[in-house]
């Protein structure tokens, strides 16, 4: 084979779309590779989609523009009935247009994840002389630390402006059902939905190297997405925010402990962080939310089907169990 043929073959192979860590392409990955973004790096397609939506909106920046549904929350109602969020004058309902905003943020998180990993965490890991075999894991866990630190802070701020601060659980049910949300509450809930759906996409397309707790992780993510959708449609958003805060705060410490392990910190430090802070937060706070759902749903009058709340509590227990089991295997991942 001549040098010219070799170069041509290398050029063709480098231009094809390959999903990282997928030994055998699935039907969905083949379809996406063939039709969605041939010859594009994985981070480029989301950026093109984001740019197209923003430019499409700027052509006619009004609420009548269909692209506005991807950028802004819909179903504005008017004055907020409850003095929960004093900084806003409007409340918002729920509907199918919310799926547009969620899908947009799935794309945004796909791009930001890749950008942060490649341009922030990879140079940091290289500077810290992390082994190449562990560098990708360090990048993945570093991104988790960054995102959950931000989402936890925003979740606490939302709760701070609400009657159920600090986990004042009786306000989960007072004036229930809570059909309307403030602008910040709705943005926060839908963006969190986009993040968790994007995590499922990562697993389906094999964008991460499969971990030893892969099945537990898949189960946890799927149950979480069901809980988010169910709590939003069933008006359990106050409970949902409390769960978001406890889960996100726990994930910070688990991912942070893994990053320290890759940086070769002493085992005593990483074990202390993962076992004490992680297990304590997850079992105490999220366990308390589960207990409240089980104990108070019959004692406080609310207009909903009791089986909905019971099912939500059962799913919470399943998600917490999968999370705790996965956390116990954190050293192997």
Question: Tens digit of pLDDT for each residue in 199-211?
Answer: 988 887 777 777 7
Residue 2 lies in a domain: no
Q: Which two tokens stand for residue 235?
A: 């008006």
Q: Does the pTM exceed 0.85? A: no
One domain for residues 49 and 97: no
Among left, alpha and beta (phi > 0; psi -120 to 50; other), residue 167 is: left
Domain count, the chain: 2
CB within 8 A of 121, min separation 6: which ones?
A: 138, 139, 142, 143
Residue 13 lies in a domain: no
One domain for residues 232 and 197: yes
Q: Which two tokens stand for residue 17?
A: 């779309």
Confidence band, pLDDT 50/70/90 cuts, at residue 316:
low
One domain for residues 142 and 62: no
One domain for residues 135 and 187: yes
- Position 294 scores a pLDDT of 53
User: What's the mean pLDDT in 212-236?
Assistant: 80
One domain for residues 160 and 86: yes
Task: Quote the domain boundaries for residue 197.
Answer: 76-332
One domain for residues 162 and 146: yes
Out of 86-90, 115-119, 122-126, 243-247, pick the least confident.
86-90
Residue 322 lies in a domain: yes
224 close to 251: Cβ distance less than 8 angstroms: no
One domain for residues 244 and 122: yes
- Position 216 scores a pLDDT of 74
Residue 29 lies in a domain: no
One domain for residues 144 and 50: no
User: What's the mean pLDDT in 209-221?
Assistant: 74
One domain for residues 119 and 65: no
Residue 222 lies in a domain: yes
Residue 159 lies in a domain: yes
- For 211-236, where are the alpha helices, taking DSSP H only? 214-233
- Position 311 scores a pLDDT of 55
- Residue 58, Cβ neighbours under 10 Å: how many? 10
- Which of 48, 72, 96 corresponds to the end of one domain? 72
CB within 8 A of 201, min separation 6: which ones?
A: 106, 110, 207
One domain for residues 48 and 195: no
One domain for residues 53 and 184: no
- Which of 54, 72, 90 corresponds to the end of one domain? 72
Residue 271 lies in a domain: yes
Residue 18 lies in a domain: no
Residue among 67, 108, 101 nearest 232 (CA): 101
């Amino acid at each position: 084979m001549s040098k010219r043929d070799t170069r041509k073959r290398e050029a063709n192979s480098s231009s094809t779309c390959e999903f990282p860590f997928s030994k055998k392409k699935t039907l969905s990955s083949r379809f996406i590779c063939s039709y969605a973004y041939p010859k594009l790096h994985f981070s480029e397609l989301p950026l093109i989609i984001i740019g197209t939506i923003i430019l499409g909106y700027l052509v006619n920046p009004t609420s009548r523009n269909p692209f506005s549904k991807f950028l802004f929350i819909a179903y504005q109602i008017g004055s907020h009935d409850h003095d929960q969020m004093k900084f806003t004058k409007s409340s918002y309902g729920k509907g199918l247009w919310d799926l547009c905003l969620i899908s947009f943020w799935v794309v945004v998180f796909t791009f930001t994840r890749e950008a942060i990993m490649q341009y922030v965490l990879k140079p940091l890991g290289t500077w810290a002389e992390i082994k190449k075999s562990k560098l990708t894991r360090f990048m993945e866990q570093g991104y988790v630390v960054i995102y959950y630190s931000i989402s936890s802070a925003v979740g606490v701020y939302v709760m701070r402006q609400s009657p159920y601060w600090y986990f004042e659980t009786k306000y989960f049910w007072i004036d229930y059902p809570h059909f309307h949300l403030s602008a910040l509450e709705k943005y926060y809930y839908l963006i969190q939905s986009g993040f968790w759906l994007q995590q499922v996409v990562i697993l389906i397309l094999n964008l991460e190297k499969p971990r030893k707790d892969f099945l537990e992780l898949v189960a946890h993510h799927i149950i979480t997405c069901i809980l988010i959708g169910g709590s939003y449609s069933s008006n359990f958003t106050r409970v949902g925010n409390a769960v978001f805060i406890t889960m996100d705060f726990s994930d910070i410490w688990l991912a942070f402990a893994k990053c320290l392990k890759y940086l070769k910190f002493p085992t005593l430090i990483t074990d202390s962080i993962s076992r004490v802070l992680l297990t304590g937060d997850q079992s105490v706070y999220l366990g308390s939310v589960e207990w409240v759902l089980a104990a108070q749903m019959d004692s406080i009058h609310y207009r909903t089907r009791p089986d909905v709340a019971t099912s939500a509590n059962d799913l919470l227990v399943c998600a917490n169990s999968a999370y705790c089991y996965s956390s116990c295997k954190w050293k192997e991942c």
